[in-house]
Amino acid sequence: MLTPFSSVEVPFIGASTEIDAESADVVVFGAPHGTPYRGIDNEPFATAADVLRCALEEDAGWLDHWDFDLGGPLLDNDLFSIADAGNLATTALDGALNRQLIHGATEKIVGCGAVPLMIGGDDSTPIPFIEALAPCGPLTIIQIDAHIDWRDERRGESLGYSSTMRRASEMDHVVNIIQVGIRGLGSARRAEVEIANDWGAKIVTAREFHQQGVAAVLKHLKRNSNCMITFDCDALDSGIMPAVMAPTPGGLSYTQSIDLIDAVIKQANLVAFDMIEFVPSRDLNGTAAITAARIIANALGCLARPSQ
């Protein structure tokens, strides 16, 4: 398999720890830490991958049951296989090492012909993840998030979670950025909004998405293009997703989220997916974990049936 990963007792639903990347269609892995900011603790996200794995542990015994979100069993395809590689050996304070680990793992998975599915970590973890997707370019990024993340730097750090889309925009293989669910303060000042617009980013606010649905996104997505989805849990409405650092009202519903993922996979070629910014300590009754994990499961189910 791939190294350096730690083993997991509970693989993500539908996945196996016995399948290697060379024979898998999708490889799931956890990336507990990204690039830290001075004075801001990134440990709240560290157990997210394992918590989301465990959220669907019981459901994993029912893979033959009908899933009404998907119109059939979750993995209704005997030829489709998912590997769970475990978690990368990231550390809280070593951003350079964490980026190297995420980039290396993603690069190897892509090289094996599989789709990497990363569970972060804060919103800095997608920077090396996207960077490693260069062989999949020209690439469209679909960022589902409350925030646009176009800061050039914060606290002297240019690779932190406020700069994810700014850094992605500088990568040669990234040709299109669609940002969905943006609302509230959105992490940006006037300058960042203008820079994003000048680059050509398509900002679909939450209000626009609520009014127009998935059409507001699909009009910016070229058919059959290669794309990746980065899904920040704070894109979801705070009423169903309190387990984030910046809960914001007016976000996407669970059904809107899975409808969007389904529509994207039907229109384009999804080459990678990540889910980030889940804070287990803020999930007081476990329902937020089930919501987040079910969104990932739906992405896997849609990948298993792209032609439907």
Token readout for 286 is 């476990």
pLDDT for res 1: 47
> Whole-angstrom Cα distance, residue 145 to residue 234?
6
pTM over 0.85: yes
pLDDT for res 7: 84
pLDDT for res 250: 97
CB 117 within 8 A of CB 60: no
Element (H, E) at 182: strand 174-182
Q: List the pLDDT tens digit at each of the 308 positions of the chain.
A: 455 788 899 999 999 999 988 999 999 999 999 999 999 989 999 999 999 999 999 999 999 999 999 999 999 888 899 999 999 999 999 999 999 999 999 999 999 999 999 999 999 999 999 999 999 989 999 999 999 999 999 999 999 999 999 999 999 999 999 999 999 987 799 999 999 999 999 999 999 999 999 999 999 999 999 999 999 999 999 999 999 999 999 999 999 999 999 999 999 999 999 999 999 999 999 999 999 999 999 999 999 996 64
Token readout for 234 is 């704070």
Query: Which residues, including other chains, have CB under 8 Å from residue 30's CB and lie 6 or more apart?
Result: 8, 48, 49, 50, 86, 87, 88, 118, 119, 120, 121
CATH, domain 5-303, list 3.40.309.10, 1.10.260.40, 3.40.630.30, 3.40.800.10: 3.40.800.10
> Whole-angstrom Cα distance, residue 220 to residue 178?
7
CB 135 within 8 A of CB 174: no
pLDDT for res 265: 97
179-196 burial, b at 16+ Cβ within 10 Å, e below that, comes to bbbbbbebbbeeebbebb
The DSSP bridge pattern shows strands 115-120 and 82-88 to be: unpaired
> Whole-angstrom Cα distance, residue 66 to residue 50?
25
